[in-house]
Amino acid sequence: MTEYGKPLGATETTIPGLVVFDLPVHGDARGWFKENWQREKMTALGLPDFGPVQNNISFNDAVGTTRGIHAEPWDKWVSVATGRIFGAWVDLREGPTFGAVFTTELDPSKAIFVPRGVGNSYQTLEPDTAYTYLVNDHWSPDAAYSFLNLADETAAIGWPIPLSDVEISAKDLAHPRMADVTPIPPKKILVVGANGQLGRALRAEYGDAPHVEYADRSTFDISSTDLATARRWRDYGTIINAAAHTRVDLAETPEGRKDAWAANVTGVATLARIAADNGITLVHVSSDYVFDGTLDRPYREDDPVCPLGVYGQTKAAGDAVVSTAPRHYIVRTSWVIGDGSNFVRTMASLAERGIEPRVVDDQIGRLTFTADIARGIRHLVEHAAPFGVYNLTGDGEPHSWADIARAVFALTGHDPERVTGVSTEEYFASATGPIAPRPRNSVLDLTKATTRNVPLGLVSGRLADYLAGA
């Protein structure tokens, strides 16, 4: 008997992500009405905003009709239109909860959210039962399913009507036991720009995890006109965009300006559109260059952008494009140091060769090591931090480039007084080509990241470790 008038509510189950919802049903002698799916109210209770794209209905004529345990590679919202069912759910995802079981009855006043990879099965308890399910992917013959036998001894599901007395298809009867089930892997992660310095750090962070793919320019052309159909994008959960045009001075030339806009804006727009269309989380790496550096305090995530040069303008435009994707992280960083040629390696080399450099002392910021950016990105994604912009740099006291150069000299056993501090204008006075304007204040406020427990490396310690391993 359907219970009328109970309030909308959500109840977690023993399977992570599997959530039972009580639905308000309003009825009288004429029948009943309910809001079967109400995005605003249900997401407010914690339901993932999973973006359904297809609605299916299963009608069951007889009591005892039993559907096999199928784990599909998409999320489902399952509810009853008429009748009553016994439902059994088995976690068939890779991980520590593989094999966990949950059962309950559903009638029109109850619904359940079934996350991707959780096997589901239903047994009808009343004649003429119909249940409906919303899914966030279109059915495809190429989709990878996993199945479990209804009579599996490990799951030991307590079917209210014995399986020997009910209608089951021959295909469902042939499904494997738990020991032979192929677990559903996590959704794929695609790292774009995998051969750059951040891309290499992401390779080190994620390693050879089978669900992580790495793509460079030779294998992933973001300017391709058929990119939207190049992959089965619904199998991907995250795209990490570590690709960018970062040659700030070259961006001030006619050819460099064209390349910077193509890589930092046009290509990013393609990724944002794919992410929005397929419910993918897009992680995009931004820069302190979106600010003009005139504030007398660290820049917060919500400060208005005001870029000085072409590179900063393209990064600001790319941020705006990424923000249109419903699921996005814009990771804003500064003074990046990673594998390959960079300021720290250059200063160490000059120190070793006995050269006394002139280094800018009126630009203030913090170094950020690519290993920390990669670790921070992984933390945001795996801990499902609220989407939006996050400043992610090294932690500790801000310094000038000259201060950092002196620290490099000292850490490598050389006299830091050999470094002479000069103004930006003095440093570039003899330059023969275009020079991009630099923000004088590149310090980013880290409050939001630390509140979310994003791991940030202390610059002084990271610099020492980096030089020890250089």
- Residue at token pair 């039993």: 66
Give the chain's end-to-end CA distance (angstroms, integer): 71
8 Å CB contact between 111 and 23: yes
Q: Is 70 in the active site? A: yes
Which is catalytic among the residues 4, 122, 131, 133? 133
> How many alpha carbons fall within 13 Å on the CB side of residue 160?
18
What is the rounded distance in angstroms from the CA atom of residue 448 to the CA atom of residue 49?
A: 23
What are 80's strand-pairing partners? 131
Q: Is 133 in the active site? A: yes
Burial of 445 (0-12, 13-18, 19+ CB in 10 A): middle
What are 28's strand-pairing partners? 31
Pairing of β 236-241 and β 281-287: parallel
Which tokens hold the place of 150? 């209804």
Distances (CA, A) of 349 to 147, 358, 370, 438: 59, 14, 20, 24
Secondary element (H or E) of residue 281? strand 281-287
Crossing angle of helices 310-322 and 267-278, in 10° steps, is: 10
Smallest CA-to-CA distance from 325 within 378, 269, 265 is with 269
Smallest CA-to-CA distance from 439 within 331, 303, 345 is with 303
Other C-beta atoms within 10 Å of 211: how many? 15
Phi, psi of 330 (to 5 degrees): -100, 110
- Just list the catalytic residues: 70, 133
